[in-house]
Amino acid sequence: MKLYVFRHGESVGNQQRLFSGWSQMPLTDQGKNQALALREKVKDLSFDLVFSSDLRRAMQTAGSLMEQGVDAATRQYGDQLLYSRRTRDFTFFGGENGEALRARAESFLQRVSRLDAQQVAVFTHEGLMKGLLSAVLFPAWIPDPRVKHHNCAYSVFTYSPDQGWGLLKWNNE
């Protein structure tokens, strides 16, 4: 099985440097162009199943920072926010930490591995992409802010019952 995981195009929240979580932020014109370019890149792919993020769950995860600007939040929360961003631990703000994100990614991978499908697409956010990467490659959550996944880029994970999960491509643009 191949699992194609797509990050959304640039959103208003990305553009304005907002903690948008998975609120209903629309794509910018740039994000719409990215999505059109992505569609052209993957036009020859077909998928047995397609998943997209669950906004209700995501909004609960996003917590109190949702739709607040990074600069304003930094002024308001100072070192606590810097720590949260560095370690990916947003429990202080009503969100989740990296281990919870990784556990959510592992649970998703377990469910996907039981599907009768050869190619699966997932449209999601950078946080879950990092959780999937951690779940597949590392024994525990690795809080490394240098690991990025660009808007409208995608990664490809592979699964076989004998080998388990692996990473084929990361941040493919």
Digit-coded pLDDT (tens) for 115-163: 999 999 988 888 899 999 999 999 888 878 788 889 889 999 999 999 9
Helix, strand, or coil (residue 158)? strand
Q: Report yes or no: 6 and 122 within 8 Å, Cβ to Cβ.
A: yes
**Range scoring the smallest mean pLDDT among 26-30, 58-62, 73-77, 167-171:** 58-62
Digit-coded pLDDT (tens) for 80-103: 988 888 888 888 888 889 999 999
Query: What CA–CA distance (Å, rounded) separates 143 from 2?
Result: 26
pLDDT for position 69: 82
Digit-coded pLDDT (tens) for 66-82: 667 888 888 999 999 88
User: pTM score, two decimals?
Assistant: 0.85
Strand partners, 52: 123
Strand partners, 2: 119, 158
CATH of the domain at 73: 3.40.50.1240
Residue 131 per-residue DSSP state: H
Digit-coded pLDDT (tens) for 19-52: 776 577 788 899 888 888 888 888 899 999 988 8
Q: Which of 161, 109, 162 is nearest to 134 (CA)?
A: 109
Query: What CA–CA distance (Å, rounded) separates 6 from 151?
Result: 8
How many separate domains does the chain show? Answer: 1
Q: Report yes or no: 63 and 94 within 8 Å, Cβ to Cβ.
A: yes
Name the residue range of residue 58's domain.
2-172
Q: How long, in residues, is the chain?
A: 173
